[in-house]
């Protein structure tokens, strides 16, 4: 059932009285610091060990039943260009040439599964959710297609199915949530031949990362990327190359997205209290307009079909009428031809009879002359 503009504006005005309460709730939320789910899981990506074989890409494609790429996964020429995830590619490996050296560094890119996801914070219908095991999952059944998640993500990960006209959705890595629920490893981790990817308890992964850094200080930068960035992520990185040189942002700070937004939003009570209602109302009105447009389109199609039926009936009637006329004319022609043939035959017979008569009359006269 649709919603009228009058009804929506009535709801919006009636809810204005609750804005102050909503604002105080938001202010309280601004002082909250989420420590993460206990014993949450994650992945440690040791960039020093990655060889750019793209086995992780192939595994991701297979596990998620995604369309096969134009170039096979063993074609490493794709590493010559920088790539990003999109609607049917949940992870990519990029190659970076470091300085004047011939050394190449390979970095896997996918959703980092933030401890407090910016995509979930921006989504007013709660289509994104951080799971206790570390995965950030997406529920397409409630998504309204606003794509705020794409704008909010500091890592530029969520993609949208623009080519799907009827039921587009947002896509991204799920940390193989269905697999880990069954006790299996994420597809990319299982496929990595060099153990550049390790899946496990996030706290234990941080210990492993710290041990490697401390044991080989000449091989690693003294920083675990994702331990604190944007409040922390479930996907962690260690590297022997400065992260800024391998396409990773170092300007994000350590504050999570919800903490960054809750304070400023609380200063505008009506926005905090009513923006979900406003957006939901706009969406409902838009859907109603779409429904009316579809109904009008259906009526126009039905009218066109009726008009076509009437025109078809007229054409058939005309064809029948013309056929009847043609048949009648054909019969008249046949009758006329038959009469003409009969008259001609009678005339020829009369002529022949006359000739016989003349011949018979001439015979006695010849005998008398003799």
Confidence of residue 29 (pLDDT cuts 50, 70, 90): very low
How far from 275 is each of 16, 21, 66, 114, 152, CA to CA, in Å?
A: 11, 14, 36, 24, 16
Tokens of 107: 């970095």
The predicted structure's pLDDT at residue 273: 46
Contact 257, 136 (CB under 8 A): no
Is residue 287 over pLDDT 90?
A: no
Report the share of the chain in percent with pLDDT over 90: 53
Tokens of 162: 């623009």
Is residue 184 over pLDDT 90?
A: yes
pTM of the model: 0.64
Per-residue pLDDT tens over the stretch 144-160: 999 999 999 999 999 99
Pairing of strands 41-46, 235-238: parallel
The predicted structure's pLDDT at residue 31: 44
Contact 311, 303 (CB under 8 A): no
Is residue 358 over pLDDT 80?
A: no
Poorest-confidence range of 103-112, 119-128, 168-177, 330-339? 330-339
Is residue 72 over pLDDT 50?
A: yes
* 22-31, 89-98, 256-265, 353-362: range with highest mean pLDDT: 89-98
Pairwise CA distance, residues 264 & 235, whole Å: 28
Of 225, 230, 229, give the one whose Cα is nearest residue 261: 230
Average pLDDT value for the chain: 82
The predicted structure's pLDDT at residue 26: 38
Tokens of 314: 């007229």
Pairwise CA distance, residues 17 & 23, whole Å: 11
Per-residue pLDDT tens over the stretch 234-280: 999 999 999 999 999 999 888 887 777 654 444 444 444 455 555 55
Return the bridge partners of 170, or none.
160
Angle (deg, nearest 10), helices 19-30 and 269-369? 110
Of 216, 82, 221, 223, give the one whose Cα is nearest residue 156: 82
The predicted structure's pLDDT at residue 12: 47
Of 104, 85, 83, 102, give the one whose Cα is nearest residue 94: 83
Pairwise CA distance, residues 139 & 54, whole Å: 28
The predicted structure's pLDDT at residue 355: 74
Is residue 84 over pLDDT 60?
A: yes
Pairwise CA distance, residues 300 & 329, whole Å: 43
Poorest-confidence range of 59-63, 71-75, 194-198, 358-362? 358-362
SS (H, E, C) the chain: CCCCHHHHHHHHHHHHHHHHHHHHHHHHHHCCCCCCCCCCEEEEEEHHHCCCCCHHHHHHHHHCCCCCCCCCCCCHHHHHCCCCCECCECCEEEEEECCCCCCEEEEEECCCCECCCHHHHHCCCCCEEECCCCCEEECCCCCCCCCHHHHHCCCCCCEECCCCCCCCCEECCCCCHHHHHCCCCCHHHHHCCCCCEEEEEHHHHHHHHHHHHHHCCCCCCCCCECCCHHHCECEEEECCCCHHHHCCCCCCCCCCHHHHHHHHHHCCHHHHHHHHHHHHHHHHHHHHHHHHHHHHHHHHHHHHHHHHHHHHHHHHHHHHHHHHHHHHHHHHHHHHHHHHHHHHHHHHHHHHHHHHHHHHHHHHHHHHHC
């Amino acid at each position: 059932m649709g919603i009228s503009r009058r009804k929506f504006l009535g709801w919006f005005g009636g809810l204005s009285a609750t804005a102050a309460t909503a604002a105080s709730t938001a202010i309280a939320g601004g002082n909250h610091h989420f420590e993460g789910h206990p014993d949450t899981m994650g992945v440690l990506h040791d960039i020093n060990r990655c060889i750019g074989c793209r086995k992780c890409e192939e595994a991701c494609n297979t596990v998620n039943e995604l369309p096969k790429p134009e170039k096979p996964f063993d074609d490493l020429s794709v590493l010559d260009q920088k790539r990003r995830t999109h609607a049917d590619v949940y992870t990519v490996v990029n190659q970076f040439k470091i300085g004047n050296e011939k050394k190449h560094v390979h970095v896997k890119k996918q959703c980092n599964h933030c401890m407090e996801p910016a995509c979930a914070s921006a989504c007013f219908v709660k289509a994104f959710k951080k799971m206790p095991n570390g995965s950030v999952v997406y529920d397409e059944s409630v998504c309204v297609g606003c794509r705020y998640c794409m704008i909010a993500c500091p890592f530029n990960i969520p993609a949208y199915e623009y080519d799907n006209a009827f039921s587009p959705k947002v896509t991204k890595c799920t940390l193989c949530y269905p697999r880990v629920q069954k006790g299996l490893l994420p597809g990319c981790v299982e496929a990595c031949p060099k153990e550049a990817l390790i899946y496990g308890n996030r706290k234990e992964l941080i210990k492993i990362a710290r041990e490697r850094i401390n044991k080989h200080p000449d091989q690693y930068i003294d920083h675990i990327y994702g331990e604190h960035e944007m409040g922390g992520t479930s996907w962690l990185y260690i590297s022997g190359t400065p992260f800024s040189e391998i396409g990773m942002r170092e300007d994000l700070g350590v504050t999570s997205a919800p903490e960054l937004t809750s304070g400023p939003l609380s200063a505008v009570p009506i926005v905090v209290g009513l923006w979900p209602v406003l957006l939901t109302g706009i969406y409902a009105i838009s859907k109603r307009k779409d429904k009316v447009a579809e109904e009008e389109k259906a009526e126009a199609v039905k009218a066109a079909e009726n008009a076509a039926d009437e025109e078809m009936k007229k054409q058939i009637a005309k064809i029948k009428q013309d056929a009847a006329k043609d048949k009648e004319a054909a019969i008249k022609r046949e009758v006329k031809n038959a009469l003409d043939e009969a008259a001609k035959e009678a005339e020829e017979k009369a002529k022949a009879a006359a000739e016989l008569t003349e011949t018979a009359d001439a015979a006695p006269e010849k005998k008398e002359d003799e």
